[in-house]
Structure 1
Amino acid sequence: MIRWEHLGTATVPDGGGELGLMRRGQEFSIMAPGGIELMNSRLSGSEEALAKLAIERVGAEGHVLVGGYGMGFTLRAALAALGPKSQVTVAELVPEVIDWARGPMAELTAGGLDDPRTTVALGDVGELIRARAGAYDAILLDVDNGPEGLSRPANDRIYNGAGLAAAKAALRPGGVLAVWSSAPSAAFTKRLRGAGFAVEELSVRASIHKRGGRHTIWMASQRS
């Protein structure tokens, strides 16, 4: 049996503890404090769906903001779905995650970080959202394990009422806020509607093989 190998550790700002990068053969895992797995390279289906479903709704040309690089699956899916004149800004809070993407996980990255349509912004995605009114056709949030602030309490600012109002203001007319979560949340659905979004709550397979566990994706669009 192949054992897990620890490849690196990164500190999450604002009291988020440490992330650990692990590898077992060709499988990678990023772990949060307490041994909680945040992501695994074998489970990319829902991260890809986050991008595909949003871009289906807004069209293939435009500016997409991806909050949280992770293992790059959402970025890769967005680039595959978008046209040559589009832009993708990836906001990543932890610089080491990008280092891992260019280093041991380069095969997963598949050149997405070097695509001319891609810009990497190191920092809090919430700050980018608040600073750019009317800038994005889609905002894709795969931050933490969903809207509960598991690894970093400050992430609650992205998903609370003020954060959702800022996201709505940052979208262009007809834009979509897409949010990934490891589990459903009726409270978050209610919060999205309270912020003035029309909401679809979707259950999607975690694996690209269309079996096994499910994750939740919200598609929140501006009301017509």
Structure 2
Amino acid sequence: MLPREEIATAQIPGGDTLTLMSHGRDFIIMLGRDELMGTRMQFSEEQLAQLTLERLETPAPRILIGGYGMGFTYRAALRYAPAESAIIVAEVVPEILEWAKGPLADLTGDCLTDPRGEIVLADVAALIDDAVDDTSAKYDAILLDVDNGPDGIVREGNERLYTRTGIARMRDALNPGGLIAIWSAAPDHKFTGRLKDARLDVEVRRVRARPNNKGPHHTIWFARRRG
């Protein structure tokens, strides 16, 4: 059996330590002893972007992605987004971008230089708040992959994103007809109820972690702001 080898570590602001590991040809980001993400199971994170783009009708969407991670969602968004799109990624851990340019460079490809995209070292909640207060900064879609779901908080402070107040802030940061799309490792019926209580039209999808219809099931919520 191939051993796992530690490549680098990074501190989450106000939280735990992330560890970048290699396992043969694969890479894994660990949170403590738990596997947060890895190159063997990336399909559901890619589906977060693809399925969102398929549901948008605007020809030049403005999209906010919470969390870069290994870039799975971001690269999929670039793959399916129209030419005139604007995609902003909020990432709070600077080392994540250093890893993307260093040991994960082959995985990263040229996504960091795509003119449609911008990586911002910021809390996604702060960018959401900015959009609520500035009508010119609103989004057509907000994609969250910053935790393992509403009950799997990775960074202290992210809890507010999943509260009734946080959902309302995301809704108000959207243009009419815009989408909130949230990835989770597990279903959460109470969270589905909170989305509906925020006067959003909600669709829940279960997707596999791997494209060959294998691996664990993950959950994606699509919550549309009414026009």
TM-score, normalised to structure 1's length? Answer: 0.95
* Amino acid paired to 1:168: R
Shift of 1:158: 1.1
Secondary structure of residue in 1 paired with 2:157:
helix
| Alignment deviations for residues 4-49 of structure 1 (CA, whole Å, 9 cap, x no partner) | 11011111112x111110011211111112x011101111110011
Q: Contact 1:12 / 1:18 at 8 angstroms: preserved in 2?
A: yes
Partner of 1:13: 13
Shift of 1:182: 0.2
Shift of 1:149: 4.5
Root-mean-square deviation (CA, aligned residues, Å) is 1.2
Partner of 1:87: 86
Distance 2:110 2:196 in 1: 37
TM-score, normalised to structure 2's length? Answer: 0.94
Equivalent residue pairs, number: 222
Q: Does residue 109 of the first structure (1) align with residue 108 of the second (2)? A: yes
Distance 1:46 1:85 in 2: 25
Q: Does residue 217 of the first structure (1) align with residue 215 of the second (2)? A: no
Distance 2:205 2:126 in 1: 27
Q: Does residue 42 of the first structure (1) align with residue 54 of the second (2)? A: no
Long gaps (5+) in structure 2: none
Long gaps (5+) in structure 1: none
Q: Contact 1:149 / 1:155 at 8 angstroms: preserved in 2?
A: no
Distance 1:45 1:80 in 2: 14
Q: After TM superposition, where is structure 1 displaced by more than 6 Å over at least 4 residues in a row?
A: none
Distance 1:137 1:94 in 2: 25
Higher mean displacement: 128-137 or 70-79: 128-137
Distance 2:152 2:92 in 1: 14
Shift of 1:3: 1.1
Distance 1:149 1:44 in 2: 18
Distance 1:168 1:189 in 2: 14
| Alignment deviations for residues 123-159 of structure 1 (CA, whole Å, 9 cap, x no partner) | 2101100111351111010011111243223110111
Match of 1:187 among 186, 190, 215: 190
Q: Does residue 151 of the first structure (1) align with residue 154 of the second (2)? A: yes
Higher mean displacement: 200-209 or 174-183: 200-209
Match of 1:140 among 140, 143, 159: 143
Distance 1:85 1:152 in 2: 33
Partner of 2:210: 207
Distance 1:127 1:148 in 2: 21
Shift of 1:102: 1.0
Q: Contact 1:130 / 1:170 at 8 angstroms: preserved in 2?
A: yes
Partner of 2:68: 69
Shift of 1:211: 1.5
Partner of 1:166: 169
Quote the sequence identity (%): 48
